[in-house]
Chains A and B, each alone.
Chain A
Amino acid sequence: MLSPKSRRLVLICLLVIGMCHAQDIKSENEKGNAEASAVAAPKSIRTRTLEELDAKNRRDRELSDIATMLKTIPALQNMEQRIIEYLRIQKRFGKLMDDIKDASSRQADIAEDIRTSLLDTKLTPQEEARLHECRQNLKSFAEQQQLMVQQIRLASRNVQNSIGALPPPPSYMSRAGIKMNLVGTMPNAFYVSAACISKDLFIAASESLKLQQEPNLPEADAPYAVANVNYYQASTFCSWLSTYEQAVYTIPGKKVFESLAQFNIVPNEAVWSSSEWQTDEVGQIRAIERFGVIMQQVWDPKQRLSSEQFIGELPIAHYESLGFLVITPAMTGIARRWQLLSQQVANEP
């Protein structure tokens, strides 16, 4: 049997041994964790890096596909179809750019994890080497992505230029439902309304102005009647139309009428002109100047009001056979086509 003193010594030794063992277990656990994390972090980082490589390869294939597609578009005869394809390509460019942006974000996260992992002193040399390899890959990805962004930007600009180089459409339907026909060739082309502004549309515009609300546009198949309005009312309509269409619409002047006549575009009714009436009679010129009266020019090619083609009329006058056309620059048609096709492509899945 052990003496109490011996028993105390044995207990103390056992206690020390126990404490040492516990320390060993703890350090082994810690080492195990470190090893586990060192093995798990490089593994997840590596996987993520591999995934980034796959994503990059997908983007490379997409860009190559787009480049191939771009070469086929100029062969399309239909201008609208060309624009649609260009717009689809722009959409794909947009997606690519978004992908690159997301990839850059992910890669930044991976790079941060690599940096954190490399701070661990218990990493094995193998693990450390893998981490460095991942970091190098990420760096390479970043450079290639930057290059791809530049390529996409350049290609997008070229697509934009290609769209811009396309001729304006021969006609278009405005937002207010006015059919506009192209007259002349660029850069002097412009659009003119196919017919005089209708009475129903004029009334709708007036109501819209008065009530400050969206116009109740007439149906496309509504019976047509020329707006029986004076010059001031016609000008107010053009102001409203310009605001509504977000483009400039005006009443044509004498030079435009001369162009229309050259192209054999002749309205059935007499139409208001934005030009002031000029006469050769000296007495009349002096009287107009003295009394400050403005006579507005009217183009009456079918001689509905008078025996002459160009006449002067008081701006307050209105007749059933006197209407007005509207004109707008060629860019309006181009912009309108762009707007409609962009919407169509944007709505595609």
Chain B
Amino acid sequence: MTSKAYRRLYPLVVAIIALVVSTSIADSKLKRRGRYVRTDVEKTVDKDSFSVELSCSTTGSLPVLTFKGQTIRTIHEVKMYETIIETPHSAAEAGPVFREKNEIKVIPGEFIAGEQSERVEIIDGNPLPNETFSINGVFTVKTDNEGKCLDKKQIILEFMDDLSVNSCTLTFKHDKLGEKEFVLTRELLKRSNQPRTVKPTPDTIPTVDILEAFGLDFTQLRSIGREGLELKIDLPEGAQPNTIITATVTATNKGNRTIGTLMVRTFSREGWLDGKMFYFGNLEPGKTMTFSRQFLVPDKAAAEASHVAFAVWNLLGRQQDQLQAFRLKRR
């Protein structure tokens, strides 16, 4: 092309460029976000996990851990808004006179994306049979065909045997399903009947009160007594090393007033016998309750015998007249 042709085309190109720029500027200046319309799901991410529930066996005061599959679904959402455009009112238009200079019109079919958010849903699944979990990286438990694990060694109870500990966090871990934290509490002096167990949510760690899990009532009552308590303790005569022995405490209220917040604790020089708690809670007149604990006799137990005392406490204080002591011989 000759230079003369370029000179003729030059104004046309400039005009086209100016038109495009001005149009785009006009567009951006005028389109706005309008009302909220809906929330769209951008994507969904599922992660396999598990849940743990604590309950008590029907016999023997054994904790039962029920493991169920769980899906942690993370939903990525975004809010969608109308697209609106502002145009100036024309002077020739008939009709009422508006104060605003511009007119707002919704552009149909066109939306503007707003804030992004995530929402987590927990979807309970089926029980996890024959799976192995570790507790705090120390203990290992395996579920049965129904996804339940009977804590025969009462490991769960041992975590709360120290009365100065009111709660502790247990970390359950599965090779594939990851980790799950679980707060175990023990509310000895409940002021109301409100449950302490907190259902799990995506944002909170599940909390279970061990006494509630065992179906025990530790609510503080105003009118209580302590007379009429009869305590029977079943303990084997001997304790052979490397065996498990069971102590069963049966508490009967033969009085006419509820015995409040009843507990029994073992005291012994030997660590394996000392510090085991037996929980009863409020024992109504005429009622009988039983609680059992397991004791693992260590390999290097005392040469000839071990001694243990069972001491009683209720809301009115210690009850030293109920203290019973035993001697466990080596068979």
Within 8 A of B (CB), among A290-307: 290-293, 295, 305-306
Bound-state CA distance A306–B269 (Å) is: 10
Bound-state CA distance A311–B274 (Å) is: 14
Bound-state CA distance A295–B273 (Å) is: 14
Within 8 A of A (CB), among B265-289: 265, 267-269, 275
List chain B residues, Cβ under 8 A from A291: 265, 267, 311-313, 318
Least CB separation from B319: chain A residue: A292
Bound-state CA distance A164–B327 (Å) is: 50
> How would residues 50 to 61 of chain B score, 1 for a CB under 8 Å from any chain A CB and 0 otherwise?
000000000000
Are A286 and B307 in contact, with the CB atoms below 8 A?
no
Selected from A288, A292, A311, A320, the residue in CB contact (under 8 A) with B269 is A311
- Chain B nearest CB from A309 CB (Å) reads 14
The verdict on A282 contacting chain B, using a C-beta distance below 8 Å, is yes
The verdict on B325 contacting chain A, using a C-beta distance below 8 Å, is yes
Bound-state CA distance A295–B267 (Å) is: 9
- Chain B nearest CB from A284 CB (Å) reads 8
Are B311 and A314 in contact, with the CB atoms below 8 A?
no
Bound-state CA distance A311–B270 (Å) is: 10
Least CB separation from A291: chain B residue: B311
Bound-state CA distance A312–B265 (Å) is: 17
Are A290 and B164 in contact, with the CB atoms below 8 A?
no
The verdict on B309 contacting chain A, using a C-beta distance below 8 Å, is yes
Are A287 and B265 in contact, with the CB atoms below 8 A?
yes
Least CB separation from B163: chain A residue: A287
The verdict on A316 contacting chain B, using a C-beta distance below 8 Å, is yes
The winner among A287, A306, A320 for most chain B CB atoms within 10 A is A287
List chain B residues, Cβ under 8 A from A288: 267
The verdict on A317 contacting chain B, using a C-beta distance below 8 Å, is yes
List chain A residues, Cβ under 8 A from B165: 283
- Chain B nearest CB from A67 CB (Å) reads 65
> Known contacts being A290-B318, A293-B311, is A282 close to B304, with CB within 8 Å?
no
- Chain A nearest CB from B160 CB (Å) reads 12
- Chain B nearest CB from A304 CB (Å) reads 9
Are B269 and A290 in contact, with the CB atoms below 8 A?
no
- Chain A nearest CB from B271 CB (Å) reads 11
List chain B residues, Cβ under 8 A from A293: 267, 309, 311, 323
Selected from B265, B303, B307, B311, the residue in CB contact (under 8 A) with A316 is B307
Are B269 and A312 in contact, with the CB atoms below 8 A?
yes
List chain A residues, Cβ under 8 A from B107: none
List chain B residues, Cβ under 8 A from A284: 275
* Interface residue tally on B, bucketed by range: 20 to 34
| Count of interface residues, chain A, beta-carbon cutoff 8 Å | 23
> Known contacts being A306-B269, A311-B269, A314-B267, is A283 close to B163, with CB within 8 Å?
yes
List chain A residues, Cβ under 8 A from B320: 292
The verdict on B305 contacting chain A, using a C-beta distance below 8 Å, is yes
Are A317 and B269 in contact, with the CB atoms below 8 A?
yes
- Chain A nearest CB from B3 CB (Å) reads 99
> How would residues 161 to 205 of chain B score, 1 for a CB under 8 Å from any chain A CB and 0 otherwise?
011110000000000000000000000000000000000000000
List chain A residues, Cβ under 8 A from B318: 290-292
> How would residues 232 to 250 of chain A score, 1 for a CB under 8 Å from any chain B CB and 0 otherwise?
0000000000000000000
Least CB separation from A311: chain B residue: B269
List chain A residues, Cβ under 8 A from B235: none
- Chain B nearest CB from A272 CB (Å) reads 13
Are A286 and B163 in contact, with the CB atoms below 8 A?
yes
> How would residues 290 to 331 of chain B score, 1 for a CB under 8 Å from any chain A CB and 0 otherwise?
000000000000111101110111000010100101010000
Within 8 A of B (CB), among A61-103: none
Selected from A283, A292, A305, A317, the residue in CB contact (under 8 A) with B327 is A317
List chain A residues, Cβ under 8 A from B303: 319, 321
Are B309 and A316 in contact, with the CB atoms below 8 A?
yes
The verdict on A313 contacting chain B, using a C-beta distance below 8 Å, is yes
> Known contacts being A291-B311, A291-B318, is A320 close to B304, with CB within 8 Å?
yes
List chain A residues, Cβ under 8 A from B163: 283, 286-287, 290
The winner among B268, B269, B312, B323 for most chain A CB atoms within 10 A is B269
- Chain A nearest CB from B313 CB (Å) reads 5
Bound-state CA distance A318–B305 (Å) is: 9
List chain A residues, Cβ under 8 A from B323: 292-293
> Known contacts being A290-B313, A292-B311, A292-B320, is A314 close to B269, with CB within 8 Å?
yes
A and B contact pairs by CB, cutoff 8 A, 5 listed: A283-B163, A287-B163, A290-B313, A291-B265, A314-B309
The 6 lowest CB-CB distance pairs between A and B, nearest first, are: A292-B318, A291-B311, A317-B307, A316-B325, A292-B320, A283-B164
Interface residues of B (CB under 8 A from A): 162-165, 265, 267-269, 275, 302-305, 307-309, 311-313, 318, 320, 323, 325, 327
15 extra A-B contacts, CB within 8 A, seeds A295-B269, A314-B308, A319-B304: A282-B164, A283-B165, A283-B275, A286-B164, A287-B275, A290-B313, A291-B312, A292-B323, A293-B309, A305-B269, A306-B269, A311-B269, A314-B268, A317-B269, A319-B302
